[in-house]
Amino acid sequence: MGRVVVGVAVTVAVVTCAVAAVVVGRRVKSRRKWNRVANVLREFEEGCDTTVGRLKQVVDAMAVEMHAGLASEGGSKLKMLLTYVDNLPNGTERGTYYALHLGGTNFRVLRLHLSGQPSLDLEHEVERQPIPPHVMTSTSEDLFDFIASSLKEFIAKEDGSNSNISLERRDLGFTFSFPVKQMSVSSGLLIKWTKGFSIGNVVGRDVAACLQEALARKGLDVRVAALVNDTVGTLALGHYCDPDTVAAIVIGTGTNACYLERIDAIIKCQGLLTTSGRMVVNMEWGNFWSSHLPRTSYDIDLDADSPNPNDQGFEKMISGMYLGDIVRRVILKMSLESDMFGPIFSKLSTPFILRTPLMAAMHEDNSPDLREVARILEDIFEIPDLPLKARKIVVKVCDVVTRRAARLAAAGIVGILKKIGRDGSGGITGGRSRSDMKMKRTVVAIEGGLYSSYTLFREYLREALNEILGADIAKHVILQVTEDGSGIGAALLAASYSS
């Protein structure tokens, strides 16, 4: 009997030890799994680090590249394109003006009524039209005749009939969101088509002239008074609302910047004269690059997999087109390092499947159980039942990506301010100390959903601006959200250059 008891006790002890070993083993395995995920996160955070010192290096690099781009063609990653816009709207404009915006598979027609008094609530009407797919690959005549016909119908609705629409001269701003070499404020040669357009007999031609000819064919007495891109339109709208506006930033799906530069600082166009002594320069800052930018292996892989490798490096780190995919790549790496997200889901390997608005929704999920994070991960990646701990890690990855993007955008803005002597340092060649400077009120117009709709991005950008400039200088810099620079801004420029 005693032997039986001893045997049972030994068996129980062995089973207990075995169970304990299994439990301990699972705990050790789980701990190792989480440690691997934590290591991926820590390395990513370190790679994205944007200390104030590093941001100031980016500021200096931006200002230097701007200077080089103004000195000679091809002298910088920044194209620093002349726009020939030297007369920005100021609120005294009066009359009715039009704008066309061709930016992709849709285009917009806009009518703007100006009273001669500055107003923050501008009276305007807008219509949107899809471009028929066959027109996008047809001829220049088909494309511009279609646009002109739509404008004719839009004007006819105002007049009530087609009978007298040609009797009154109208001025138009044309926002053309494709690569163009600007020749004057109202003319520019198409460099190449993008966004699904492929009309061979337009490349190398003046797109404003193509539109002007189509308007004449339709019997419209409408003059293309200004050919602009959306960033220049944003500056025009900002300046109309506030004459202290000196620069404009678009930061949405893509990103770009323009600013007012002194004519004598544009060395590559010596002898160019303007009545104002200034000109708007289109930076094309998405292509900015510097060794001081905090680039990670995920950025390198994204660039290599993109349609334009080694191009638009700054844009790929700060704009809405790319932020969601950086987050996806980090989550994929964590999945490969551990089974935290379960089996490797094929959708997690699909580039650009996570759009930045959804990334922002996860980042700003304030629910205790992060239910929005769980919903998006299941909807997009088909990852079910993710534990709360893993959801928190996803939110942290979103935070790291967004914070880096916003802080780098802030450094870019300060780089512009430094170049024009509005950062409190006296400019790129200035030698005066901050105590010698009387800081002017400086307004930067900003457009784009990444800034206007993403609260944490906006807060991180403003925070970095304060850190770089210091509170005493930063309080003089106003970031002013604008809306529809590509439409209203273009119509305002038509008013500025009205005959």
Which residues are identified as catalytic?
108, 177, 230
Neighbour-count burial for 145-163, b at 16+ CB within 10 Å, e otherwise: bbbbbbbbebbeeeeeeee
Query: The tokens 């609120």 sit on which residue?
Result: 91
Interatomic CA distance for residues 223 and 227, integer angstroms: 11
Burial of residue 306 (CB within 10 Å: 0-12, 13-18, 19+) is middle
Which phi and psi (to 5°) does residue 115 adopt? Answer: -100, -10
Query: From CA 425, how far away is CA 417, in angstroms rounded?
Result: 9
**Residue 114 forms beta bridges with which residues?**
95
Q: Are 443 and 478 in contact (CB under 8 A)?
A: yes
Token pair, residue 250, equals 């678009």
The dihedral through the CA atoms of 346, 349, 352, 357 has a sign that is: positive
Q: Kindly write down the DSSP assignment for every residue of 378-416, as one continuous string.
A: HHHH---S--HHHHHHHHHHHHHHHHHHHHHHHHHHHHH
- Contact (Cβ atoms closer than 8 angstroms) between residue 473 and residue 106: no
Tokens at 279, concatenated: 């000109």
Please tell me the distance from the alpha carbon of residue 159 to that of residue 157, in angstroms, as a whole number: 6
Structure tokens that stand for 13 in this block? 């002890």
Sign of the dihedral defined by the CA atoms of residues 482, 484, 485, 489, in that order:
negative
Bridge partners of 258? 248, 282
| Residue 174 and residue 168 in contact, taking contact as beta carbons nearer than 8 Å | no
DSSP secondary structure letter of residue 439: P
- Give the closest residue to 326 by CA, choosing from 419, 413, 404, 416: 404
Per the CB < 8 A criterion, the answer to whether 172 and 222 are in contact is yes
| d(C-alpha 461, C-alpha 469), whole Å | 12
Helices (H), 48-183: 52-71, 140-159
The Cα 298–Cα 330 span in angstroms is 7
End-to-end Cα distance, the chain: 116
Residue tagged 């510097």 (tokens): 290
Which has the closest alpha carbon to 400: 106, 54, 42?
A: 42
Judge whether 412 and 215 are in contact, CB under 8 Å.
no
